[in-house]
Amino acid sequence: MTPVVALIFGMLGLGAVLAMIRLALGPSLLDRVVATDTILVIVTAGLAVHAAVNRDPTVVPVLVVVALLVFVGAISVARYVGGMLLRTGADVEELGVSPAAEQVQGHEGTERP
């Protein structure tokens, strides 16, 4: 059974590495939020796989904490970015905007308060 377990952990690790590449590359803050969500979910999955493979229930409460952390982290960063949108209005360049935003003309409002 060891090759199957190695395959499971390999797929989890490769997914986490790819999400970390997106976390490093991500042109905007929201890309990084989505990548962080995915990384934390993969961490949850890895802990659960470890618990299931070794029949070790001691890491199971950690799953609840990490699942809570995913929600609170993403919601707070999303609220923070929305607050920046309200506060500053027009400066989309400071957060790093995706190329898709350059196709949108006049979406963000043009005047700065």
Partner 1 sequence: MNDVESLADWIALACLLTGAFLCLTAGVGLLRFPDVLSRMHAGTKPQVMGVLLIMVGGAIRLSGWSATWMLLLVAVFQLITAPVNAHMVSRIAYRRGHVGRDSLFVDELGVAPRGAEVTAGEEGRRGDQPADAPIGDETEPQVDEDDGAGDQAVDEPAREPRG
Q: Given the rule CB under 8 A, which residues bind partner 1?
A: 1-2, 4-5, 7-9, 11-12, 14-19, 21-22, 28, 30-31, 33-35, 37-38, 41-42, 44-45, 48-49, 51-55, 57, 60-61, 63-64, 67-68, 70-71, 74-75, 78-79, 81-83, 85-87, 89-90, 92, 95, 97-98, 100-101, 103-104, 106-109, 113
Long-range contacts of 96-102 (CB under 8 A, 24+ apart): 96/27, 96/28, 96/29, 97/27, 97/28, 98/27, 98/28, 98/31, 99/27
Residue 51 CB, nearest distance to partner 1 (Å)?
Answer: 6
Residue 80 CB, nearest distance to partner 1 (Å)?
Answer: 9
Residue 4 CB, nearest distance to partner 1 (Å)?
Answer: 6
Q: 55's torsion region: left (phi>0), alpha (psi -120 to 50) or beta? A: left
Residue 21 CB, nearest distance to partner 1 (Å)?
Answer: 6
Residues 6+ away with beta carbon under 8 Å from 98: 27, 28, 31
* Cα–Cα distance, 108 to 103 (Å, whole number): 12
